[in-house]
């Protein structure tokens, strides 16, 4: 065997050796346990704290608002979509207050006119034109928006 | 107004017709244009070197080593635009340690490594091994040891050793030609296999990419060769320039024919995407496709090179023409990649609307970043030419 090949074989063996050591050292231990991903990722995600508690938890104290909301188009909307995650609030309602959104742009997250959004399902309003001077909740009741404030 | 709506209104200004929300801004930017461009330059430059070696074309000999070094310098940078485009660039190596056999991009990593480690590096090493030995004896100081390390301990200089260098080098070249085809054909394949995109999805894509790669690689070698002679204040070797020009002309004809065939096929087939694609070509891509790619990058070089095949104006005129042609062709092929990558994302999958690509100046995916990765290979090439000067190679 010519000396060039011999030397190259040595160099390539070293390179591949280093590659396999690195691959062994860096590949997460649980990789490939269930599929082409880190097996532990499932358990790690399972162990994360659940921050959204759901409408039923709100219903324990605010049953009047929850049942009022059921009468309007926001019936399927979870309370925490507007008020934010409630996991701290249910532990200590006095210290951990939830958000009460009042800005026009908050309603606009869903209701701002957007060609890509179906108008049949969500009412679309052009925030640049519709009653620009006022907040939405100055007229609309947020929990049942087709009813107006006095 | 809330900044979120500000940016929505800003984005909607770029939209014409009906478009799905996730199509407003382009996911693949100028860096993804650059990646097939640079890979193409590598494959093209290498194929020129290989043809030179396999078919022993005397006039091209001065460009042989330059083509190899150019290919190497660009190959080192080829993946960098891709990596800088990633959201988490520092995690790029994960694709190599846990590769997925069904991921086209993961397999590209191995095609790339094969080409870099087995083909290009080895070919250059076998070409230079004898010179490393000589230089390690002649040089003093640190450089002596640098060259010694580069020999990898293979210090033989006998007739037999040289014969082996040549034999194995030749073998690698022969293996290298299909590898270069694979490297760039693969890049075309990645685009050609996106079946949801009518602008990309074509079996012609790998072939078109390959030939435009050869065109751009030859143009780059022409540019680099003339540049090196200019910087070293050497006379341009006209037979070499004419020879490169001749090959550029031939490959450019094939490239142009294949691309035209692809377009004619689309026009004749005129399927449901035809209307939006014809609006794309005559509207948003008019400048980059009609002017830059076809006129500047293809027709003008073809006319001039074709003219040179029958008439030979004075050397000075031909020199200037070749230099300009190399720049024109390089620009044209860059815009070919642009038209594929950016063009393919400008129209909606609904086939009823367009968005706009705004190239930013700075930032992770801006013009400066793209320019940076275009300049770096020339820096690497300059370093390689200093470390491994082809003009100081021993004649053997």
ipTM over cut 0.90: no
**pLDDT over 90 for what percent of chain B?**
64
What are the start-end ranges of the E strands in chain B? 16-17, 353-354
Distance, in Å, from the CA atom of B296 to the CA atom of B198, rounded to the nearest integer, reads 26
The tens digit of pLDDT for each residue in B232-287 reads: 999 989 999 999 999 999 999 999 999 999 999 999 999 899 999 999 999 999 99
Q: What is the per-residue pLDDT across B21-37, written as a single tens digit (0 to 9) for each?
A: 888 888 899 999 999 99
pLDDT score of B56 more than 90: no
Return the pLDDT at B1. Answer: 60
Q: Return the residue in B1, B2, B116, B126 with the most chain A beta carbons within 10 A, the one to mutate for interface testing.
A: B2
The segment with the largest mean pLDDT, out of B89-98, B137-146, B377-386, is: B377-386
pLDDT given for residue B370 in this prediction:
95
The alpha carbons of chain A give a radius of gyration, in whole angstroms, of: 28
Asked if A105's CB is within 8 angstroms of B5's CB, the reply is yes
Cβ neighbours for B246, distance < 8 A, ≥ 6 positions apart: B305, B309
Contact in structure between B168 and B126 (CB atoms under 8 Å): yes
Cβ-based neighbours of A127, under 8 Å, separated by 6 or more? A104, A105, A108, A111, A112, A113, B5
Residue ranges of chain A with pLDDT lower than 70? none
Of B5, B18, B168, the CB nearest to A4: B168
d(CA B298, CA B249): 10
Q: How far is CA A100 from the centre of its chain?
A: 19
Cα–Cα nearest to A27, from A38, A18, A17: A38
DSSP string, B273-285: THHHHHHHHHTTT
Position B2 in a domain:
no
Give the chain B residue nearest A26 (alpha carbons): B97
Helix axes B159-192 and B104-113, enclosed angle (nearest 10): 160
Please answer yes or no on whether A7 and B4 come within 8 Å at the CB atom: no
Of A8, A23, A27, the CB nearest to B152: A8
> Band of the pLDDT at B396, cuts 50, 70, 90?
low
- Structural domain range at position B283: 25-392
B164 and A11 within 8 Å at the Cβ level: the answer is no
Label residue B188 exposed, middle or buried (CB < 10 Å: 0-12, 13-18, 19+): buried
Angle between helices B367-387 and B30-55 (to 10 degrees): 30
Q: Which candidate from B96, B97, B154 shows the least CB-CB separation from A4?
A: B154
Task: Look at residue B160 and tell me whether its pLDDT is greater than 80.
Answer: yes
Q: How far apart are CA A76 and CA A79, in angstroms?
A: 9
Query: Which residue on chain B is closest to A3 by alpha carbon?
Result: B154
> What is the dihedral sign for C-alpha B214, B216, B221, B226?
positive
Confidence grade of residue B182 (pLDDT, cut at 50, 70, 90):
confident
Could you report the per-residue pLDDT of A11-51, keeping only the tens digit for each? 999 999 999 999 999 999 999 899 889 999 999 999 999 99
For residues A22 and B93, give the distance between their C-alpha atoms in angstroms, rounded to a whole number.
11
Select the residue of B100, B125, B129 nearest A36 (Cβ to Cβ): B100
Q: Does B1 touch chain A (CB under 8 A)?
A: yes
CA distance B29 to chain A (A): 23
Cβ atoms of B89 and B157 closer than 8 Å? no
pLDDT of residue B5: 67
Look at residue B11 and tell me whether its pLDDT is greater than 90. no
Residues of A in contact with B165 (CB under 8 A): 4
**Interchain contact, A103 vs B2, CB within 8 Å:** yes
Q: What is the fold of A49-99?
A: Helix Hairpins (1.10.287)
Tell me whether residue B283 is in a domain.
yes
In a domain, residue B38? The reply is yes
The residue in chain A having the minimum alpha-carbon distance to the alpha carbon of residue B152 is A7
Average pLDDT over residues B347-360: 91
Q: At what angle do helices B142-150 and B122-138 cross, to 10 degrees?
A: 150
Say whether pLDDT at B2 is over 70: no
- Identify the pLDDT of residue A56: 93
Residue B269 burial (10 A CB sphere; 0-12, 13-18, 19+):
exposed
Number of domains in chain B: 1
Q: What is the pLDDT, as a whole number, of residue B222?
A: 95
In total, chain B counts a number of residues equal to 396
Q: Could you tell me the pLDDT band of residue B4, with boundaries at 50, 70 and 90?
A: low
Tell me the chain B residues in contact with residue A9 when contact means C-beta distances shorter than 8 Å: none
**Residue B199 neighbours by CB under 8 Å, 6+ apart:** B273, B277, B280, B340, B343, B344, B347
Q: Which residues from A are below 8 Å from B160, CB to CB?
A: 2
Instruction: Put residue B56 in one of left, alpha, beta given phi > 0 → left and psi -120 to 50 → alpha.
Output: left
Pair B172, B122: CB distance under 8 Å? yes
pLDDT of residue A70: 93
Domain ranges of chain A: 3-46, 49-99, 101-150
Q: Could A108 and B93 be called an inter-chain contact, meaning their C-beta atoms sit closer than 8 Å?
A: no
Q: Is the pLDDT of residue B134 over 60?
A: yes
B18/A115 touch (CB, cutoff 8 Å), yes or no: yes
Q: Which residue of A lies nearest to B127 if distances are taken between CA atoms?
A: A4
pLDDT of residue A97: 93
pLDDT at B185 over 60: yes
Name the pLDDT band for B55 (thresholds 50, 70, 90): confident
Q: What percent of chain B has pLDDT over 70?
A: 98
d(CA A59, CA B386): 77
Q: What is the 3-state secondary structure (H, E, C) of B117-185?
A: HHHHHHHHHHHHHHHHHHHHHHCCCHHHHHHHHHCCCCCCCCHHHHHHHHHHHHHHHHHHHHHHHHHHH
Q: Is residue B174 assigned to a domain?
A: yes
Provide DSSP, B263-306: HHHHHHH--TTHHHHHHHHHTTTIIIIIIIIIIIIIIHHHHHHH
The answer on pLDDT for B82 being more than 60 is yes
Task: Show residues of chain A in contact with B154, CB under 8 Å.
Answer: 3-4, 6-8
* Crossing angle of helices B159-192 and B122-138, rounded to 10°: 140
- In angstroms, what separates the C-alpha of B22 from chain A's closest C-alpha? 10
Determine the average pLDDT of the residues in B205-218.
94
- Span B282-295, pLDDT tens digits: 999 999 999 999 99
Over residues B31-50, the mean pLDDT reads 92
Task: Please tell me if residue B5 touches chain A, with a CB cutoff of 8 Å.
Answer: yes
Chain B, nearest residue to A103 by Cα: B2
Convert the pLDDT of each residue in B164-175 to its tens digit: 999 999 999 998
């Amino acid at each position: 065997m010519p000396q060039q090949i011999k030397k190259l074989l040595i160099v390539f063996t070293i390179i591949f050796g280093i590659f396999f050591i690195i691959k062994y050292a860096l590949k997460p231990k649980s990789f490939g346990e269930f599929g082409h991903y880190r097996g532990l990722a499932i358990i790690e995600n399972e162990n994360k704290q659940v921050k959204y508690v759901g409408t039923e938890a709100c219903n324990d104290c605010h049953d009047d608002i929850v049942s009022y909301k059921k009468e309007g188009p926001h019936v399927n909307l979870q309370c925490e979509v507007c008020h934010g995650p409630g996991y701290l609030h249910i532990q200590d309602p006095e210290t951990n207050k939830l958000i009460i959104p009042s800005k026009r742009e908050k309603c606009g997250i869903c209701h701002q006119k957007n060609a890509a959004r179906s108008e049949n399902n969500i009412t679309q309003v052009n925030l640049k034109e519709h009653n620009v001077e006022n907040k939405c909740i100055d007229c609309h009741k947020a929990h049942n928006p087709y009813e107006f404030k006095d | 107004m809330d900044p979120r709506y500000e940016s929505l209104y800003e984005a909607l200004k770029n939209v014409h017709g009906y478009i799905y929300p996730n199509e407003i801004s382009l996911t693949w930017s100028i860096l993804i244009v650059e990646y097939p461009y640079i890979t193409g330059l590598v494959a093209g430059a290498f194929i020129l070197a290989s043809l030179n070696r396999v078919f022993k074309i005397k006039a091209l000999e001065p460009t042989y080593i330059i083509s190899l070094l150019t290919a190497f310098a660009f190959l080192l940078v080829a993946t960098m635009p891709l990596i800088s485009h990633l959201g988490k660039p520092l995690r790029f190596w994960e694709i190599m340690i846990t590769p997925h056999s069904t991921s086209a991009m993961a397999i590209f990593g191995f095609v790339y490594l094969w080409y870099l480690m087995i083909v290009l590096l080895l070919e250059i090493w076998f070409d230079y091994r004898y010179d490393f030995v000589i230089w390690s004896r002649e040089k003093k100081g640190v450089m002596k040891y640098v060259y010694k390390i580069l020999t990898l301990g293979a210090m033989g200089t006998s007739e037999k050793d040289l014969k082996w260098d040549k034999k194995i080098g030749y073998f690698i070249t022969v293996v290298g030609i299909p590898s270069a085809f694979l490297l760039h054909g693969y890049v075309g394949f990645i685009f050609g296999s996106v079946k949801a995109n009518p602008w990309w999805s074509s079996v012609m894509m790998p072939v078109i990419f390959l030939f435009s790669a050869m065109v751009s690689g030859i143009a780059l070698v022409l540019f680099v060769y003339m540049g090196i002679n200019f910087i070293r204040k050497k006379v341009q070797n006209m037979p070499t320039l004419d020879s490169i020009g001749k090959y550029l002309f031939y490959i450019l004809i094939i490239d142009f024919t294949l691309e035209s065939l692809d377009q004619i096929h689309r026009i004749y087939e005129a399927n449901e995407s035809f209307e939006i694609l014809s609006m794309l070509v005559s509207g948003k891509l008019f400048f980059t496709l009609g002017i830059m790619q076809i006129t500047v990058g293809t027709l003008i070089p073809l006319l001039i090179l074709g003219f040179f095949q029958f008439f030979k104006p004075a050397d000075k005129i031909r020199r200037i023409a070749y230099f300009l042609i190399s720049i024109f062709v390089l620009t044209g092929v860059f815009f070919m990649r642009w038209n594929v990558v950016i063009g393919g994302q400008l129209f909606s999958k609904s086939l009823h609307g367009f968005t706009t690509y705004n190239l930013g100046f700075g930032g992770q995916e801006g013009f400066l970043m793209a320019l940076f990765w275009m300049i770096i290979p020339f820096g690497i090439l300059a370093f390689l030419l200093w470390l491994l000067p082809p003009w100081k190679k021993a004649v053997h």
